[in-house]
Every structure is written in structure tokens, then in C-alpha cells.
Chains A and B, each alone.
Chain A
Amino acid sequence: MKNIGIVSYGAHIPRLRIKSSDIAKAWGKDPETITSGLGIIEKSVPSPDQDVATISVEAARAALARINIDPQDIGAVYVGSESHPYAVKPTGTIVGEAIGATPILKVADYEFACKAGTAAIQTCMALVKSGMVKYGLAIGADTSQAAPGDALEYAASAGGAAFIIGKEKVIANLNETCSFTTDTPDFWRREGRKYPAHGGRFTGAPAYFRHIMSNAKYLMDLVDTKPEDYDYAIFHQPNGKFPLRVAKMLGFTTDQVNQGLLCPIIGNTYSGASMLGFASVLDIAKPGNRIFLTSYGSGAGSDAFDITVTNYINELPREKAPLVSQLIEKKQYIDYATYAKYRDLLYED
């Protein structure tokens, strides 16, 4: 797709952090084993007054801070998350109102586990390409839930990123996108339940690896590229190990993956994960950089993107909003008791 792509972007990561070792100690597990086993040192935690709506608004406002467009020209807002504040009443309308894009606006909320945000990007691409909107805003954000004591507790974190998609002054061209989807029940959360359930080791090979591998190969076939053609590769990151492993299996190097790999220090931000990884890459990207982005969402599916950074990236005042690295550095540690209170773990499901 010529000249359809990212026009601006923004990110938000809540300040609070909890160390994997502190969670491990609370549950009587060996901190060393857990930390090195999962490849996660610490994760972000939302404060009681933060949720997917507030994170989405911060990320969207950050994207708008870097660009001079009339918010009324944003014709669509799609927010992907698996922890929307309401089961019924979209996060997108709250964001739309908070950025001044209402009322002529297409809005819906998306859910597809961790890939709801990239699905939103695809939708916006189509709306922009067809001329149905001038700009589309795609957001992936989560304040993911994890049952106390469950393995997911070390990773489930909070954060999000927003991407404004358009045709003019595109800073990163979304050359091509494709998706690989099957009905695979590796991880799910039932309606009305507080915590998800998962299939343990089943979440590996038949789920994460199968979909990412298949989709990545499919995309590289479509655009006729090889891993070495890319400067950066971003994969969905449920822990610090899977993305490195799948990168290796596909033929990408650790160097290509590092900039977009945030899980070790902020955990798995679910719908925000690959999106934040992408934002982190855009923070330092240079004209001509080629980026390979592959998300994964349980249930299951993967969205992949072949991206080329344009000259316009140098015109974008990236310093007008916090860089991902700055958001990561701005942190305050809490202990497990405070974490339990903030994440509502002390109440019955």
C-alpha cells in the first residue's frame, strides 16, 4: 500500500512497578528461578485511578502532541483491549470525547486478546485507503488481569500505544499487512469472570509459535523479503523468552529484536505489547529503516506488518511527547500488599 501509514504515534506506561522477585516471594517461589525462567524482571502496574480509558487517552494525546492536525479530521477511533473498563460501553467514545474528535466519528471497541490493537491498525488502514476517513486512530492498551498466584501474575501488566493512520506526511509506511487466524483455545476469559484461564504449555507451540511463524512466513512471501532485509523486528511478548525464541526460529537476530522487546522491564501489556514495541522502535528509527511487526492474540491469531520508515520521521517532533524509554525510566516500586490492594485481589471474584 503506497503512502498509507503512521502519521503520528504516542505511548503511555503507568509509573508503578513491581519486581518479579517480590511476587515470587509472596507466593513462596524462588525469585531467581522465576525471574530468569520467564525473562521478566519487573512489570508495570496501574494505580487505582488508571484504566484502559485513561491509558488510551494519554497515548492518544501524546500522538496528537507530535502533530498539528485538527482532531475533528480523525474519522475513526478503535481501541483494542482485553480489559476495557466496561463490558458494554466503549472505551473509544471516552477517547473520542477526550481528544475532541466527536461527534462525526466511527467508533467501536475491539477484543482479540493481545492483538486487538493491531487489528485496529488494519481497520484504520482500510478506512484511510478507501477514503472513508482522513485519519484513523488505532489504540492498543491493557491493564491485564491475572489470578493471584498464577504464572501469569509475573507478566500481566499495563500500558498502551496509539497510532494515527493517514495518507499525508506518513512517517512509517504500512507497505503490507496480513493475518493468520484459527480457532485455538490457548487462553481465554469467560464473560463476567475476573481472571483468565489458559492451557498451560498448550499456549506455546500450537498457539503462539504456530501463528507467529505461519503469519511471518506468509508476510515475507507476500512482500518477497528475508529476515536480513529488516532493521527491526517486533514480536508479541508474553514473556522475555518467547519473542527471542521465535525470532531465532524465523532467522532474525537478537540485535533486530532488542529495541522492540520491552517485556523484561514492563511485563506483558497485552494489547499494548507489540504496539509499545513498535512505538519504542519509532522513537529511534531513521528514514529507510525497514520494520517487521508481528502481533499475536490468543484464541488465536496473528497480524503482521511490513513497514518502511520515511523521511518524514525526521520532521516529526518526537520530543513533544514522552519516548517509551522515558516512560520506562519514570517508575516507582510498590510491594505485593500494595499491588494486591490496587489490583483488587483482596475481593471475591
Chain B
Amino acid sequence: MADGAVPRFWREIPQRYNLISNQCGSCKKIYFPPRESCPYCRRKSMGKMKELKLKGTGKILTYSIIHTAPEHFEGQTPYPIAIIKLDEGPKITAQIVDCDLDDIKIGMRVKSTFRKIQEDGYMGAIHYGYKFKPVEVKK
């Protein structure tokens, strides 16, 4: 990760803070992160992609527990990451929080929450974004 790479991560704030996706005006498929055009409709979709805020709810398709941390995540291990299928269709990769490691299951319903993702060292910018926590099953 390039330290001090502020503009690159600033551009993605709408996605990281508010799950802003976009939708193809032609086939209605939803993309996160947003795309210039729909890979399936291609030229038919150009200029027809519409911004759409996602709810942040979905379910876990798969997960792993990271024990060997990458740069910027030292001291946080072990932590879980997962691929989550959001209810509107797109799939994303994110950490799971507020859940015992042993309780994470494929199929678990989760909801997005706002957390610190990483920072460019103690002097650098702080990058916030989405992580996902289990949704209470109402009894």
C-alpha cells in the first residue's frame, strides 16, 4: 500500500462510507464498486449507469481467519475476513467484527458497520470504511 496515497482512497469515500453502487440502466444489474459501463450490456449501458445506495445487509458466502497480518494490520490478528453477498446482488470482501471467531458460519446474515480500516502509519491519514457484524436473529 503506497503511504500518503490520499487521493486514491479519498475518491472511494462514497463507496466505503455509504456503499454507493451503480445500476445498469439496461439490464438493472447492480455493481459495487460502481462501473463505467455494464460488462454484459457494454455499449448499451454507457451513460445509463445510475448511482444507488446499498442497504448494507447480506450473508456470508465464505470466510477465513487471518493470522499473518499484512502491512497496516499488525497487532489486529487474528481477524476474520469474508466474502459477503449483499441482498441487492453484489459480492464484497470485508472484515467481520463483533463476533466470536468460532461463531462465524457460511450463510450467516450480516449488516455493515462503520469502522477504521487502516491508517498510513501514526502520522498518516486514517481510512474509514465498512466492516460487517452479525445481525441479531429476532426470536
| Chain A residues within 8 Å of B, Cβ to Cβ | 15, 47-51, 53-54, 57-58, 61, 85-86, 94, 97-98, 100, 341
Are A51 and B116 in contact, with the CB atoms below 8 A?
yes
Instruction: Determine if B81 is an interface residue (Cβ-Cβ < 8 Å).
Output: no
Are A54 and B128 in contact, with the CB atoms below 8 A?
yes
Given the complex of chains A and B, what is the CA–CA distance between A58 and B131 in angstroms? 13
Other A-B contacts than A54-B116, A54-B128, 10 sampled, CB-CB below 8 A, are A48-B75, A48-B76, A48-B116, A49-B95, A49-B97, A54-B115, A57-B114, A58-B113, A97-B18, A341-B75
Q: Which residues of chain B are within 8 angstroms of A54 by Cβ–Cβ distance?
A: 114-116, 128
Instruction: Determine if B27 is an interface residue (Cβ-Cβ < 8 Å).
Output: no
A to B CB contacts below 8 Å, 6 in the list: A49-B131, A50-B115, A51-B126, A85-B116, A94-B17, A98-B18
Are B75 and A49 in contact, with the CB atoms below 8 A?
no
Q: Which residues of chain A are within 8 angstroms of B131 by Cβ–Cβ distance?
A: 49
Given the complex of chains A and B, what is the CA–CA distance between A100 and B13 in angstroms? 11
Are A58 and B114 in contact, with the CB atoms below 8 A?
yes
Q: Can you name the residue of chain A whose Cβ is closest to the Cβ of B98?
A: A15
Instruction: Determine if B117 is an interface residue (Cβ-Cβ < 8 Å).
Output: yes
Given the complex of chains A and B, what is the CA–CA distance between A254 and B98 in angstroms? 34
Given the complex of chains A and B, what is the CA–CA distance between A100 and B98 in angstroms? 25
Q: Can you name the residue of chain A whose Cβ is closest to the Cβ of B118?
A: A49
Q: Which residues of chain A are within 8 angstroms of B115 by Cβ–Cβ distance?
A: 49-50, 54
Contact among A15, A85, A100 for B126, CB-based, below 8 A: A85
Contact among A15, A85, A98, A341 for B114, CB-based, below 8 A: A98
Shortest distance in angstroms between A268's beta carbon and chain B's nearest beta carbon?
A: 22
Return the 3 tightest CB-CB contacts between A and B, nearest first. Answer: A49-B115, A57-B114, A49-B116
* Chain B contacts with A in 90-128, Cβ cutoff 8 A: 95, 97-98, 113-117, 126, 128
Are A100 and B116 in contact, with the CB atoms below 8 A?
no
Q: Which residues of chain B are within 8 angstroms of A57 by Cβ–Cβ distance?
A: 114, 128
Are A61 and B116 in contact, with the CB atoms below 8 A?
no
* Given A53-B116, A54-B114, A98-B114, A47 and B97 contact (CB-CB distance below 8 Å): yes
Given the complex of chains A and B, what is the CA–CA distance between A100 and B126 in angstroms? 19
* Chain B contacts with A in 16-68, Cβ cutoff 8 A: 17-18
Are A50 and B75 in contact, with the CB atoms below 8 A?
no
Max chain B Cβ within 10 angstroms of own Cβ: one of A48, A49, A51: A49
Contact among B13, B17, B18, B117 for A49, CB-based, below 8 A: B117
Q: Can you name the residue of chain A whose Cβ is closest to the Cβ of B76?
A: A48
Q: Which residues of chain A are within 8 angstroms of B95 by Cβ–Cβ distance?
A: 49
Are A61 and B17 in contact, with the CB atoms below 8 A?
no
Shortest distance in angstroms between B54's beta carbon and chain A's nearest beta carbon?
A: 13
* Given A48-B76, A49-B76, A97 and B126 contact (CB-CB distance below 8 Å): no
Shortest distance in angstroms between B74's beta carbon and chain A's nearest beta carbon?
A: 10
Are B116 and A86 in contact, with the CB atoms below 8 A?
no
Q: Can you name the residue of chain B whose Cβ is closest to the Cβ of A94?
A: B128
Max chain A Cβ within 10 angstroms of own Cβ: one of B95, B97, B98, B114: B114
Shortest distance in angstroms between A80's beta carbon and chain B's nearest beta carbon?
A: 19
Given the complex of chains A and B, what is the CA–CA distance between A61 and B115 in angstroms? 13
Are B13 and A97 in contact, with the CB atoms below 8 A?
yes
Given the complex of chains A and B, what is the CA–CA distance between A208 and B85 in angstroms? 51
Shortest distance in angstroms between A88's beta carbon and chain B's nearest beta carbon?
A: 12
Given the complex of chains A and B, what is the CA–CA distance between A54 and B130 in angstroms? 10
Given the complex of chains A and B, what is the CA–CA distance between A108 and B15 in angstroms? 24
Shortest distance in angstroms between A15's beta carbon and chain B's nearest beta carbon?
A: 6
Q: Which residues of chain A are within 8 angstroms of B114 by Cβ–Cβ distance?
A: 54, 57-58, 61, 98
Q: Can you name the residue of chain B whose Cβ is closest to the Cβ of A57?
A: B114
Given the complex of chains A and B, what is the CA–CA distance between A85 and B114 in angstroms? 15
Shortest distance in angstroms between B20's beta carbon and chain A's nearest beta carbon?
A: 10
Given the complex of chains A and B, what is the CA–CA distance between A56 and B17 in angstroms? 13
